[in-house]
Structure 1
Amino acid sequence: MTADAIGRVAVLGAGSWGTTFAKVLADAGRDVVLWARRPEVAATIRDEGHNAEYLPGIPLPANITATADPAEAVAGADAVVLAVPSQTLRANLAGWRDLLPSTATLVSLAKGVELGSLERMSEVIREVAEVDEARVAVVTGPNLAREIAEEQPTATVIACADHDRAVALQHACSTHYFRPYTNTDVVGCEIGGTCKNVIALACGLASGLGYGNNTMATLITRGLAEISRLGVALGADPLTFAGLAGLGDLVATCASPLSRNRTFGERLGRGESLREAQEHAHGQVAEGVKSCASIRALAGRHGVDMPITNAVYQVCHEGLDPRLMPGELLGRARKAEFA
């Protein structure tokens, strides 16, 4: 695949990140068709040039059009970007599978491990679409949608087992504000992007409880340690976790008020119930709430110790009072830092 092989791109999912990535692709000179589940969202994007519901105040380039018809969206696409929540990816993709162009690169924006199967998103795509791993790529790294849509400088990672395909995608989304790097470690990039949502929930919980920067630094650093342990157990390159897909994504998601997971955790830490926090999210998905369950199960399958993930799971799904979480973590057996 040549560097300029991607000219037309379908983005399936018109939420904040899907719309933002469509803008990046269009700014990089690609013709983009954005699929929205609701016809009224597609009509606003197509007729008014912005996504008022998910990305208000951001004008979209003229080379983005929109539709509520997935067949129209993917027709003739060189790449199909899957921008739906991780736990709905399988069902959505099953409905789209027969529409996909036979040679298109399939690109995952979702960050999660599927409940039940415990599969990463690239594994779900390969299984449902019945494609080789070389056709599946992952976009990850510090991807706070609003900042990118405002064209604040950022870098990201495009991971694909096929290096040439990753390079083609790199060229397809390179702009003056968005700098993609390539990586062939799909496992490490996906694990970093998935697990950081759970650590961000923990940081939000700590913030809601009134804890300061020492606590945040501890959660981020020890969170990175447990993410790395799981990734290495699954065959990832340890170096990946020192880069944008690991530390970079973790810092952005744990520190920013734009992070849905951190904000959700903060509401829980202030005493809101899971239901109340979800109501305040206004339909935006805090992936870490469900991912903590699947990541915890995946870690258990491989015998990996993930105490922060386990504590977040207990708060979200077992009714643990967030005020007891520090005791759960600090009361663990003492050991060497790099044991």
Structure 2
Amino acid sequence: MFDVEKIAIIGGGSWATAIAKIIVGHTHHIGWYMRRDDRIEDFKRLGHNPAYLLGARFNIDEIYFSSDINTIAEAYDTLVFVTPSPYLKNHLRRLKTRLQDKFIVTAIKGIVPDENLVCSEYFHQVYDIPYDNIACIGGPSHAEEVALERLSYLTVGCQDQEKAKAFTRVLASEYIKTKTSADVVGIEYSSVLKNVYAIAAGICNGLKYGDNFQAVLISNAVQEMNRFLNTVYDLKERNIYDSVYLGDLLVTGYSNFSRNRTFGTMIGKGYSVKSAQIEMEMIAEGYFGTKCMKEINRHMHVNMPILDAVYNILYERINPQIEIKLLTDSFR
């Protein structure tokens, strides 16, 4: 049986850093896989991540760093994956350690490209990990605000509710409130879709649409999300207005911390996709999620006009003004 408190972080970005800060505050020890030795050395010297959330300070004595993912995977029972979804497969290809007996937590708000699977499905289908040993973290939680210890609410999804509750105890603090859910797939898909809708909100912002229309856009987005989730996995206990669904959509669609909204705003202002990506220097998960969701929905046939509009703008290079005008005419 794994120890839910013997935890390692897989990934070195802003959300990985924020989650590490939450967890180490409780356990006072974590393992941490980062692929670059120079980043690890700078982290040890400075006492903070040299590339992300510079204000989040750590006691280096409480962290065991390694650039070898197998060293970390062998030594820790709970592995929290917080890598960008397009890079997950590359990290996992280096693994020689069995994962079946580990507790896998995904904090990745994206879909595994080419496979078109949310991360829990990918770990289950490719690595034979039982669903009872897979959890996800969701909810409105910008890494920047978590690092500043501003009040945030996280939901841990897992089919085994006892394991979910055990992991929430690791996350809970004065500034982190927690709850559990059995809706792992629903949380993961909503985490992907809210990034797509945040890009749409950003595009409209870049095109100078006002707050009135943004409210209509988000109202339609939550309905679109609900249609898709109910088609994929109709769960009676799901309430689309819970913070893990609607709350995450709102914060990603409206906040200036949202990289997906920022990316969309640049597209609305006339940037090409490539130029926006270069200038941001950070990954907007929604760009990849849009293509994956479009491909998935070709089999689901859910009415998703916002997803279609974002896809047409990003991948078919349709003029944003034309595409959003068509979208506005479909709203009521």
Counterparts of residues 21-170 of structure 1 (less than 5 Å): 21-62=19-60, 63-96=62-95, 98-100=96-98, 102-170=100-168
Q: Deviations over 1:199-256 (max 9, x none)?
A: 0000000111111111111111111111111111011436342112210100010111
Q: Deviations over 1:175-207 (max 9, x none)?
A: 211122100011211111110000000000011
Query: Are the counterparts in 1 of residues 69 and 94 from structure 2 also a CA contact under 8 Å?
Result: no
**Equivalence for 1:322:** 320
Q: 2:215 aligns with which of 214, 217, 222?
A: 217
**Equivalence for 2:251:** 252
1:211 alignment partner AA: Y
Alpha carbons of structure 1 residues 69 and 17: separation in structure 2 relative to 1, 3 Å: same
1:306 aligns with 2:322: no
1:226 aligns with 2:210: no
Aligned length: 330
Query: Are the counterparts in 2 of residues 86 and 114 from structure 1 also a CA contact under 8 Å?
Result: yes
What displacement does 1:168 show?
1.2
Give percent identity, aligned residues only: 29
Alpha carbons of structure 1 residues 65 and 188: separation in structure 2 relative to 1, 3 Å: same
1:105 alignment partner AA: F
**Equivalence for 1:200:** 198
Normalising to structure 1: TM-score of the pair? 0.92
Deviation >4 Å, runs of 4+: none
Normalising to structure 2: TM-score of the pair? 0.94
Q: Deviations over 1:33-59 (max 9, x none)?
A: 111111111112233210021121221
Deviates more, 1:179-188 or 1:61-70: 61-70
What displacement does 1:276 show?
1.0
Q: Which runs of 5+ in 1 are unaligned?
A: none
Give the secondary structure class of the aligned counterpart of 2:56. Answer: coil
Q: Which runs of 5+ in 2 are unaligned?
A: none
Alpha carbons of structure 1 residues 314 and 122: separation in structure 2 relative to 1, 3 Å: same
Give the secondary structure class of the aligned counterpart of 1:57. Answer: coil
What displacement does 1:102 show?
5.0
User: RMSD of the alignment, in Å?
Assistant: 1.8
Report the Cα distance in structure 2 between the residues aligned to 1:32 and 1:272, rounded to whole angstroms. Answer: 41
Give the secondary structure class of the aligned counterpart of 2:94. Answer: helix
Query: Are the counterparts in 2 of residues 34 and 65 from structure 1 also a CA contact under 8 Å?
Result: yes
Report the Cα distance in structure 1 between the residues aligned to 2:17 and 2:183, rounded to whole angstroms. Answer: 26
Report the Cα distance in structure 2 between the residues aligned to 1:214 and 1:316, rounded to whole angstroms. Answer: 24
**Equivalence for 2:287:** 289
1:297 alignment partner AA: E
Q: Deviations over 1:152-185 (max 9, x none)?
A: 1100110011111111111111121112210001
2:70 alignment partner AA: A
What displacement does 1:114 show?
2.9
Give the secondary structure class of the aligned counterpart of 1:75. Answer: helix
What displacement does 1:21 show?
0.5
Report the Cα distance in structure 1 between the residues aligned to 2:261 and 2:308, rounded to whole angstroms. Answer: 17
Query: Are the counterparts in 2 of residues 90 and 128 from structure 1 also a CA contact under 8 Å?
Result: no
Report the Cα distance in structure 1 between the residues aligned to 2:241 and 2:202, rounded to whole angstroms. Answer: 22
1:109 alignment partner AA: A
Deviates more, 1:313-322 or 1:171-180: 171-180
What displacement does 1:30 show?
4.5
Report the Cα distance in structure 2 between the residues aligned to 1:178 and 1:43, rounded to whole angstroms. Answer: 29
